[in-house]
Protein backbone atom coordinates (compact mmCIF):
# COMPACT_ATOMS: atom_id res chain seq x y z
CA UNK A 1 0.00 0.00 0.00
CA UNK A 2 1.09 3.59 -0.60
CA UNK A 3 1.79 5.25 2.74
CA UNK A 4 0.74 8.87 3.07
CA UNK A 5 2.49 10.96 5.69
CA UNK A 6 1.29 14.41 6.64
CA UNK A 7 3.14 17.09 8.51
CA UNK A 8 2.68 18.64 10.89
CA UNK A 9 0.20 16.56 12.87
CA UNK A 10 -1.02 19.68 14.63
CA UNK A 11 -0.71 23.27 13.51
CA UNK A 12 -1.51 26.28 15.65
CA UNK A 13 -2.39 29.43 13.76
CA UNK A 14 -4.47 32.59 13.89
CA UNK A 15 -7.13 34.14 11.72
CA UNK A 16 -5.48 35.79 8.76
CA UNK A 17 -2.40 33.55 8.78
CA UNK A 18 -1.09 31.76 5.73
CA UNK A 19 -0.60 28.07 6.46
CA UNK A 20 0.83 25.14 4.54
CA UNK A 21 0.27 21.45 5.17
CA UNK A 22 2.52 18.85 3.58
CA UNK A 23 1.63 15.37 2.38
CA UNK A 24 4.30 12.89 1.28
CA UNK A 25 3.65 9.60 -0.50
CA UNK A 26 5.86 6.53 -0.10
CA UNK A 27 5.91 6.19 -3.90
CA UNK A 28 4.83 8.33 -6.78
CA UNK A 29 1.08 8.91 -7.08
CA UNK A 30 1.48 11.18 -10.12
CA UNK A 31 -1.12 13.96 -9.70
CA UNK A 32 -3.82 11.77 -8.15
CA UNK A 33 -3.97 13.48 -4.78
CA UNK A 34 -7.04 14.87 -3.03
CA UNK A 35 -7.51 16.97 0.09
CA UNK A 36 -10.42 16.87 2.51
CA UNK A 37 -11.51 18.99 5.45
CA UNK A 38 -13.15 17.26 8.39
CA UNK A 39 -14.85 18.73 11.43
CA UNK A 40 -15.73 16.74 14.56
CA UNK A 41 -18.64 14.38 14.04
CA UNK A 42 -18.92 15.23 10.35
CA UNK A 43 -18.05 13.50 7.11
CA UNK A 44 -14.98 14.69 5.23
CA UNK A 45 -15.65 17.57 2.88
CA UNK A 46 -13.82 17.40 -0.45
CA UNK A 47 -11.64 20.45 -1.07
CA UNK A 48 -9.20 19.66 -3.85
CA UNK A 49 -8.81 16.89 -6.41
CA UNK A 50 -6.05 16.01 -8.87
CA UNK A 51 -3.52 17.93 -6.76
CA UNK A 52 -4.70 21.44 -7.48
CA UNK A 53 -8.30 21.54 -8.73
CA UNK A 54 -10.80 23.10 -6.35
CA UNK A 55 -14.13 21.43 -5.77
CA UNK A 56 -17.15 23.54 -6.55
CA UNK A 57 -17.91 26.05 -3.83
CA UNK A 58 -14.49 25.86 -2.15
CA UNK A 59 -13.06 29.33 -1.47
CA UNK A 60 -10.11 30.43 -3.55
CA UNK A 61 -7.97 30.90 -0.43
CA UNK A 62 -7.43 27.13 -0.62
CA UNK A 63 -4.83 25.88 -3.08
CA UNK A 64 -2.92 22.71 -3.74
CA UNK A 65 0.32 21.90 -5.48
CA UNK A 66 2.88 19.18 -6.04
CA UNK A 67 3.36 16.00 -8.02
CA UNK A 68 4.91 12.60 -7.63
CA UNK A 69 5.51 12.16 -3.92
CA UNK A 70 5.35 15.65 -2.40
CA UNK A 71 2.21 17.75 -2.13
CA UNK A 72 1.05 20.80 -0.24
CA UNK A 73 -2.23 22.36 0.78
CA UNK A 74 -2.08 26.09 1.38
CA UNK A 75 -4.68 28.32 2.97
CA UNK A 76 -3.76 31.89 2.11
CA UNK A 77 -5.66 33.73 4.85
CA UNK A 78 -7.22 31.64 7.59
CA UNK A 79 -10.85 32.24 8.38
CA UNK A 80 -12.61 31.10 11.58
CA UNK A 81 -14.43 28.35 9.68
CA UNK A 82 -11.12 26.85 8.52
CA UNK A 83 -10.13 25.46 11.90
CA UNK A 84 -10.57 21.74 11.31
CA UNK A 85 -8.62 18.61 10.43
CA UNK A 86 -7.23 18.24 6.92
CA UNK A 87 -6.24 14.99 5.28
CA UNK A 88 -4.79 13.99 1.97
CA UNK A 89 -5.67 10.93 -0.08
CA UNK A 90 -3.88 9.26 -2.97
CA UNK A 91 -6.03 7.61 -5.62
CA UNK A 92 -3.37 6.48 -8.02
CA UNK A 93 -3.13 2.92 -6.69
CA UNK A 94 -5.72 0.78 -4.93
CA UNK A 95 -6.19 0.59 -1.99
CA UNK A 96 -6.55 4.32 -1.99
CA UNK A 97 -4.91 5.59 1.19
CA UNK A 98 -5.26 8.63 3.40
CA UNK A 99 -2.84 10.61 5.47
CA UNK A 100 -3.31 10.58 9.22
CA UNK A 101 -4.59 14.14 9.25
CA UNK A 102 -3.39 17.57 10.31
CA UNK A 103 -5.38 19.31 12.99
CA UNK A 104 -5.45 23.07 12.44
CA UNK A 105 -6.18 24.83 15.70
CA UNK A 106 -6.18 28.33 17.08
Residues that bind another protein (CB under 8 A): 1, 32, 34, 36, 42-46, 49-50, 53, 55, 87, 89, 91, 94-101
State which residue, 76 or 92, has the beta carbon closest to another protein: 92
Q: How many CB atoms lie within 10 A of CB 100?
A: 13
**Cβ closer to another protein: 72 or 97?**
97
Give phi and psi for 81, each to the nearest 5: -75, -10
Smallest separation, CB 24 to another protein (Å): 15
Output the 3-class SS for 4-48: EEEECCEEECCCCCCEEEEEEECCCCCCCEEEEEECCCCCCEEEE
Beta carbon of residue 47, minimum distance to another protein (angstroms, whole number): 10
Interstrand relation of 33-38 and 85-90 (parallel, antiparallel or unpaired)? antiparallel
- Specify the residue, 83 or 91, whose C-beta has the smaller distance to another protein: 91
Quote the least distance from Cβ 16 to another protein, whole Å. Answer: 29
- Whichever of 69 and 89 has its CB closer to another protein, that residue is 89
Collapse the DSSP code of 75 into the 3-class scheme (helix H, G, I; strand E, B; otherwise coil) and give the result.
Answer: strand
Amino acid sequence: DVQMTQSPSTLSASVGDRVTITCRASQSVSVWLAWYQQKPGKAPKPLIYKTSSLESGVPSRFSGSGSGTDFTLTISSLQPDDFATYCCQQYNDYPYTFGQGTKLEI
